[in-house]
Amino acid sequence: MLRVGLTGGIGSGKSEVSRRLAALGAVVLDADAAARAVVEPGTPGLKRIAQTFGPGVLRPDGALDRAKLAEIVFADDAARKKLNAIVHPLVHEHMRAAEQAAVQAGGPDTIVVHAIPLLAEGQRAADFDLVIVVDVPREVQIARLADRGMPAEQARARIAAQATREQRLAVAGIVIDNSGTLADLDRQLSEIWADLRTRPTSRTT
């Protein structure tokens, strides 16, 4: 198994890269999807969040009100650290189990890509055989978030809450410049995939 960490700032296009890597044959494990799964109604994760931040972060149906929680944690570093302390270990456990299942199904040559937005923040680079960073300038991030309907002030706050561009690049084994067209992205990924398939699968547990 080759364990690849994939990261990038908000608005960098990690999801697009993930979809294309999956189409090429990688098993992609999405930390965002795992983060949603571990706080579903009835989970210990959601119970701890409600205990920590109060019942106001729950919707009337008992599900997590993500918008309300985001308002709290993106305006308060201490609150964000509390949330990360709850969610990150649960996400790690969830993805580890999914990785083991993928290798059992696909065999020892499986290329497993862990898509982790906060890989640099969590100092997780050493957990992987290789880290791929999806990189775009800050101005591109803000423009893409604006296209999704996010106000510029909120976009800047989200970006500021993440690792800096320099911090992400410092842990990169491969950098994808995703500021161009989808055709540009496909050309890069074709080369990267060929490279990944030649790398030794050194981690098996």
CATH code for the domain in which residue 74 is found: 3.40.50.300
Residues spanned by the domain of 76: 2-198
Q: Has residue 131 been placed in a domain?
A: yes
How many beta carbons lie within 10 A of that of residue 8, not counting itself?
Answer: 28
* Residue 75: predicted pLDDT: 81
Asked if residue 106 has pLDDT above 90, the reply is no
Q: Per the structure, how many domains does the chain have?
A: 1
Range with the poorest average pLDDT among 85-89, 107-111, 122-126, 130-134: 122-126
For residues 179 and 205, the model is more confident at 179
Integer Cα distance of 42 and 50 in angstroms: 11
Q: Has residue 205 been placed in a domain?
A: no
Q: Has residue 27 been placed in a domain?
A: yes
Residue with tokens 């791929």: 132
C-alpha separations of 142 from 15, 115, 158, 192 in Å = 16, 21, 10, 27
Model pTM greater than 0.85? Answer: no
pLDDT tier at 202, thresholds 50, 70, 90:
low
Mean pLDDT computed over 104-122:
89
Integer Cα distance of 13 and 25 in angstroms: 19
Pairing verdict, β 2-8 and 111-115: parallel
